[in-house]
Chains A and B, each alone.
Chain A
Amino acid sequence: MNAKNDIIELSLPFKADYAGTARLTASGVANRMGFDIETIEDIKVAISEVCSRLIKMGSASAASFKIVFVIGKDALLIRFECEDKSLKCIFSNADGELGVAIITALMDNVELCTSGKYLLSMSKTLKGKM
């Protein structure tokens, strides 16, 4: 990842109505990068898991959260950001276990608790381009 990477940002309200929008966007970005259909499905599921979690938790101070797609030459990095800094380690409760199992199995690298700059980040490498 470097400064020349293309970046796509999607800002979504904390509403269940838009989980499908996140999946559609992820699908478009991953398809454009050349991921195969099975991997695109994996990325969609992982992103949707995080969106669902955020929407369930909600925010008292922020109206929306942001999904940032960083399009690298050989990998897709996805960061979740929110102005509400009280949202941290969103999968730390026991009821997040299924979601964590799914995200960590489907993505190559997952940072569930970041140092504070982002809420969460995960990435997927393009096979054959490592």
Chain B
Amino acid sequence: MSSELKLTEEKTEDSVKIYLSGEVDIYTAQDLKEKLYGIIDSSRKDLVIDCKDLNYIDSTGLGIFVGTLKKARSYESKIYISNLKENIKKLFVITGLDKLFIIKE
């Protein structure tokens, strides 16, 4: 069984809201990387990543978030991560990424 991931974006005046739904693993990671990098490179705005329907992420996906954050900082933009499920928030804490990103409840 292959994993599935959906990404939808909503542009506002000063930010781009991204809704992630499904699973981020080695199978879906490349697609996520291309889309997130594409969005930050083209918009150069703050990103708000809504993870309400994100069920799973591994270190490959977290690495892509970090890569996106590096790009965002080069554009003096910020990344907000919202609605993390407890099992995913736990991974942010374990890896120390909760201190790198702006986590919103």
| A interface residues with partner B (beta carbon < 8 Å) | 16-21, 23-24, 38, 41-42, 44-45, 48-49, 51-52, 55-56, 98-99, 101-102, 105-106
Q: In the complex, how many angstroms separate the beta carbon of A27 from the nearest chain B beta carbon? A: 11
Docked Cα-Cα span, A100 to B74, in Å, equals 28
Contact A20 B25 (CB under 8 A): yes
The total of chain B residues at the interface (CB under 8 A) is 19
Contact B27 A98 (CB under 8 A): no
Residues of B within 8 A of A17 (CB): 2, 27
| B interface residues with partner A (beta carbon < 8 Å) | 1-3, 23, 25-27, 56, 58-60, 62-63, 86-87, 91, 94-96
Chain A binding surface SS class: helix
Docked Cα-Cα span, A11 to B87, in Å, equals 27
Q: In the complex, how many angstroms separate the beta carbon of B9 from the nearest chain A beta carbon? A: 24
Contact B59 A52 (CB under 8 A): yes
Contact B26 A16 (CB under 8 A): yes
Q: In the complex, how many angstroms separate the beta carbon of B99 from the nearest chain A beta carbon? A: 13
Contact B59 A99 (CB under 8 A): yes
Contact B27 A48 (CB under 8 A): no
Contact A24 B59 (CB under 8 A): no
Contact B27 A102 (CB under 8 A): no
Nearest A residue (CB) for B66 = A98
Docked Cα-Cα span, A24 to B3, in Å, equals 11
